[in-house]
């Protein structure tokens, strides 16, 4: 009886192996085809070029978030970053080893040494500071945040649209204008305007605008900030603030910048402040007390500001076209993958498996790229990255992948006999279940990002009493 069962199993093994033997060898060359496709896309990029934004390619800081780790470390707008965490950097964005953002994310110490070049009184100085990164808190069902220090890359503001009857329209600004300075000081990022107004309240403003290759001085009078939304149960809602209210003054000081107002609110936690607002042509005074929302660290009143100055910026800014060599593209993609795997494997890193993306995110990225100006070039470049990823992924020694078949062949060569088909079935089924489960796990986070579930609003403790506004 045992002999019969053994012969039956052997016959079944031989049947399956006969079927597998008839499979075309071309079907087993998935990694090679993916790699060749990556080379094809890389050659295409080398020929037609890839668009690169100023913010991606620069190493200059455009804006430092107030009270952020970078601000506390003494970093300033205009500083040129030379190295991060002991690694030389050559660009701001991306996932390469030379990227400022990636080096911050990849760091593992309590503080991050950042070496900068700063011009002081016409002389260039090299300074090293220590920034203590923070990780934004998130809910358990959303992707964990990455390390950050609160810096924004330099990018000259290029105007795409100006709202009628806005401060920008009254100043004569128009589409295509590039704002390069404010009151003679270089402007590295649009947020620098509000930052300058916060530091120099009441000072007349003159913008230096580059238009048609020529620089022009434009007097600029900012308008009063307007409330775009009010959060439920927030101090602003309890005080009676509404969408569309125009804030004229805060505690008697003219309100010209949302950044200045937010900074003032942060410094008055638990202290009533008086906001003069304009609603339906009537001036009112509203008393509101800033509170720290649950899970937050700074005081807020629970409002969203409408866009400042009536300016819509060109989201692509100053674009340049680069023609990287195919080998350079392939090498960069491979190094990015190895660096990501190393970060995931490190127990001290904030990068986890949940930060990987699947088909849902890939389709979203392709859609955004192909919907944008010159996006087809970016789509070609992204295809290089995707196919290099697929080639390396297929080489992993997992039974259901091509790398698993290579491993199986090596095992059989060493053992000088085939692996039992029963063992193969169990191992392949288990691996398939794990891979499918992992894809569902990744898709769970990708769908949240697709529909914007990561966005969180401040949650304030509801109170029965509410302040009343007084009409003047």
Query: pLDDT category, 305, cuts 50, 70, 90?
Result: confident
Superfamily per CATH, domain 55-146: PDZ domain (2.30.42.10)
- Model-level pTM? 0.77
Q: Where are the domains of the chain?
A: 1-49+349-472, 55-146, 227-307
Kindly report which listed range (60-74, 326-340, 401-415, 448-462) carries the lowest average pLDDT score: 448-462
**pLDDT at 389 > cutoff 50:** yes
| Stronger pLDDT, 370 or 374, i.e. the higher one | 370
Query: Which residues have C-beta within 8 Å of that of residue 368, sequence separation ≥ 6?
Result: 375
Whether pLDDT at 396 is above 90:
no
Q: What is the pLDDT of residue 444?
A: 92
Is the pLDDT score of 69 beyond 90? yes
Across 10-14, 271-275, 339-343, 425-429, which has the greatest mean pLDDT? 271-275
Q: Which span out of 16-20, 60-64, 162-166 was modeled with the highest average pLDDT?
A: 60-64
What are the distances in angstroms from CA 440 to CA 350, 354, 402, 445?
21, 11, 22, 9
Of the candidates 309, 222, 312, 227, the one whose C-alpha atom is nearest the C-alpha of residue 262 is 227
Q: In whole angstroms, what is the distance from residue 170 CA to residue 207 CA?
A: 13
How is 246-262 classified by DSSP, letter by letter? EEEEETTEE---HHHHH
**What was the pLDDT predicted at 465?**
34
Structure tokens, 342: 């190393």
Residue 81: pLDDT above 50?
A: yes
Kindly report the three-state secondary structure assignment for every residue of 288-306: ECCECCCCCCCCECCEEEC
User: Of 58-72, 320-334, 415-429, 434-448, which gets the smallest average pLDDT?
Assistant: 415-429
pLDDT for the residue numbered 415:
84
pLDDT at 62: 93
CB 49 within 8 A of CB 142: no
- For residues 374 and 354, which has the higher predicted lDDT (pLDDT)? 354
Q: Is the pLDDT of residue 128 over 50?
A: yes
Closest-CA residue to 145 (of 355, 459, 448):
355
pLDDT for 420 beyond 60: yes
Hey, do 55-146 and 227-307 end up sharing a CATH topology, with the first three levels equal? yes
**Torsion, CA 295, CA 300, CA 303, CA 309, rounded to 10:** -120
CA gap 182, 93 in Å, rounded: 26
| pLDDT tens digits, 196-235 | 887 887 788 999 999 988 999 999 988 788 899 999 889 9
Please state the rounded mean pLDDT for residues 108-133. 93
State the average pLDDT for the chain: 84
Q: Answer yes or no: is pLDDT of 144 > 90.
A: no
Give the pLDDT confidence score for residue 303 in this predicted structure.
92
Into which CATH architecture does domain 227-307 fall? Roll (2.30)
What is the pLDDT at residue 75?
A: 96
Average pLDDT over residues 293-300: 76
Q: Kindly indicate the confidence band of residue 453, based on its pLDDT and cuts at 50, 70 and 90.
A: low
Q: How many whole angstroms separate alpha carbon 77 and alpha carbon 199?
A: 14
Q: What is the structure's pLDDT at 101?
A: 93
């Amino acid at each position: 009886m045992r002999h019969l069962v053994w012969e039956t199993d052997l016959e079944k093994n031989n049947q399956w192996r006969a079927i597998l033997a008839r499979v075309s060898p071309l079907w087993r060359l998935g990694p090679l085809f993916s790699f060749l496709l990556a080379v094809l896309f890389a050659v295409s990029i080398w020929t037609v070029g890839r668009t690169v934004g100023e913010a991606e390619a620069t190493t200059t800081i455009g804006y430092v978030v107030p009270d952020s780790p970078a601000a506390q470390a003494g970093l300033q707008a205009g500083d040129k970053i030379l190295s991060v965490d002991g690694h030389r950097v050559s660009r701001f964005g991306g996932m390469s080893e030379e990227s400022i953002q990636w080096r911050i994310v990849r760091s593992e110490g309590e503080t991050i040494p950042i070496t900068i070049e700063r011009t002081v009184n016409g002389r260039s100085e090299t300074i090293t500071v220590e920034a203590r990164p923070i990780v934004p808190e998130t809910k358990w069902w959303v992707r964990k945040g990455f390390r950050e220090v609160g810096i924004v890359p330099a990018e000259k503001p290029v105007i795409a649209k100006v709202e009628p009857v806005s401060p920008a329209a009254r100043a004569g600004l128009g589409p295509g204008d590039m704002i390069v300075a404010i009151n003679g000081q270089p402007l590295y990022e649009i947020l620098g305007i509000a930052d300058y107004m916060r530091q120099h309240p009441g000072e007349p403003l003159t913008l230096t605008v580059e238009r048609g290759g020529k620089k022009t001085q434009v007097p600029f009078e900012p308008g009063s900030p307007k409330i775009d939304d009010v959060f439920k149960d927030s101090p602003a809602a309890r005080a009676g603030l509404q969408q569309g209210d125009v804030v004229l003054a805060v505690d008697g000081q003219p309100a010209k910048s949302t950044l200045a107002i937010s900074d003032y609110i942060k410094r008055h936690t638990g202290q009533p402040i008086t906001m003069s607002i304009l609603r339906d042509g009537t001036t009112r005074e509203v008393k509101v007390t800033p509170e720290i929302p649950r899970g937050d660290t700074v005081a807020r009143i629970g409002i969203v500001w409408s866009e400042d100055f009536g300016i819509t910026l060109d989201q692509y800014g100053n674009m340049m076209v680069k023609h990287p060599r195919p080998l350079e593209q392939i090498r960069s993609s491979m190094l990015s993958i190895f660096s990501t795997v190393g970060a995931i494997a490190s127990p001290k890193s904030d990068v986890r498996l949940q930060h990987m993306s699947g088909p849902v995110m890939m389709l979203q990225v392709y859609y955004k790229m192909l919907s944008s100006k010159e996006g087809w070039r970016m789509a070609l470049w992204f295809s290089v990255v995707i196919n290099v990823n697929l080639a390396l992924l297929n080489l992993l020694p997992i039974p259901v992948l091509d790398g698993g078949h290579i491993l199986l062949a090596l095992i059989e060569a060493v053992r000088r006999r085939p692996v039992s088909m029963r063992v193969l079935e169990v191992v392949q089924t288990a691996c398939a279940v794990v891979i499918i489960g992992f894809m569902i796990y990744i898709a769970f986070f990708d769908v949240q990002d697709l529909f914007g579930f990561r966005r969180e609003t401040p949650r304030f403790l509801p109170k029965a009493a509410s302040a009343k506004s007084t009409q003047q």
